[in-house]
Amino acid sequence: MTLTKIVKVDSADFQADYLKEAAGILADGGLVIIPTETVYGIAANMADAGAIERLYKIKERPKDKPFSLLIDTKEKIEYFAQDIPVSAYKLMDKFWPGPLTLILKSRNKPSSCAQGLGKHTIGIRMPDDNIALRIIALSGVPIVCPSANISGKPASTNFQDAIKGMDGLVDFAIDTGSTRLGIESTVVDLTVEPMRILREGAIKKEDIEAVIKKKAILFICTGNSCRSVMAKALLEKALREKDRDDVEVLSAGIMMLEGLPAAEEVKELLAREGIDVAGHRSRRVTRDMIKKSDVILVMEKLHEKRILELIPEAKNRLFLLKEFAKINNNNLDIADPIGRPYEFYAQTLGIIREAIERINNLV
């Protein structure tokens, strides 16, 4: 029996050569014990049937019990999953990278090793460990990584436990001592409504529920210096007055410029409302903002068009602000006050205030 090659690596000062070697072994169908922030795992190439067969045999795991996938960037979730709910993006935004495994609908019919609860689901996690993330990226292949233990036995939180009984059964192993958290990931099934927590691990059930229940409202205008700033500020004030903390209010613009303050006229008008937006800096809308928002409210049809170009699936959550507030007139656009007289800014604020008062009871 060939002994496993073991390398001891400082998790804060790892050497790229070892990582490249581990990644190459995985790409070639080998098995590698790697650390994560939760427990040690046995990594394998999901696309290599021989590697997966070895993994099932080593772990003495029933074939109907699948392995979850590890990814190194959030964006890769869309390579493997489809019909991803807003709740998934909220949880990813809050807890990834981290000890959270999400069960989602599979984009393609996966090999049995990566299926979740059924034939068309998949479990995915982005670990919060630089060594694991780097190996995944360098390998260039989809990586499954169940805990380094015999099925049914406790997961290994230090290297000595992980390698025990595995020496010679895996090809390579990375020793970084004890894992940072020492507890397995929490597993959440988002393919059902309401969601189900299948395993409560490092993240508590109440923390998962709090993130999912918190509604995200995104206001969008052109430069994120006038209209969306007004809408965000007014809604946040209304929520404070009701002592509500269950809504997150965001604002952004479709233009490329970022870091600009609110217009002076906006600062002055909102100051009269008792609202200080001196610290506001403009942000350009991102795909992540859109994906995690329950409701997206725009000022003009051109904004609506731009958002649909970015994320077509946002259609059912995307509204003109006047439309959502059921303000019935011939023009649903709220014109940009930039470059207009001060009175136009005040009129714009009045229109937005009416809309916010109408929707305050809807969110």
> Domain with 24 in it: what CATH number?
3.90.870.10
What range defines the domain where residue 187 resides?
5-211
pLDDT value at position 112? 45
> CA of 178: how far to CAs of 10, 30, 157, 284, in Å?
11, 24, 6, 41
Given 211, 230, 248, the domain boundary residue is: 211
Residue 212, amino acid: I
Token pair listed for 233:
């500020």
Given 196, 211, 226, the domain boundary residue is: 211
Given 193, 211, 229, the domain boundary residue is: 211
pLDDT value at position 114? 54
120 shares a domain with 74: yes
Sort residue 173 into left (φ over 0), alpha (ψ -120 to 50) or beta. beta
270 shares a domain with 245: yes
CA 267/CA 288 separation, integer angstroms: 28
The CATH number covering residue 295 comes to 3.40.50.2300
CA-based torsion, 23, 27, 33, 37: positive or negative: positive
352 shares a domain with 235: yes
112 shares a domain with 46: yes
Residue 341, amino acid: P
Task: Give the count of domains, the chain.
Answer: 2
Nearest to 262 by CA among 97, 271, 167: 271
340 shares a domain with 250: yes
177 shares a domain with 80: yes
Yes or no: say if 178 and 10 are a contact pair by the CB < 8 Å rule.
no
194 shares a domain with 73: yes
pLDDT value at position 226? 98
One DSSP character per residue, 37-59 reads SSS-EEEEETT-HHHHHHHHHHH
pLDDT value at position 110? 47
pTM of the full structure: 0.91
The conformation of residue 312, written as its DSSP 8-state character, comes to G
pLDDT value at position 163? 96
CA 43/CA 15 separation, integer angstroms: 19
Average pLDDT of adjacent 10-residue blocks, the chain of 363 residues = 86 83 98 98 97 96 93 96 97 98 85 53 97 97 96 95 95 97 97 96 97 97 98 97 95 93 98 97 96 98 96 96 90 96 98 94 73
Token pair listed for 114:
């990566």
307 shares a domain with 218: yes
182 shares a domain with 33: yes
136 shares a domain with 19: yes
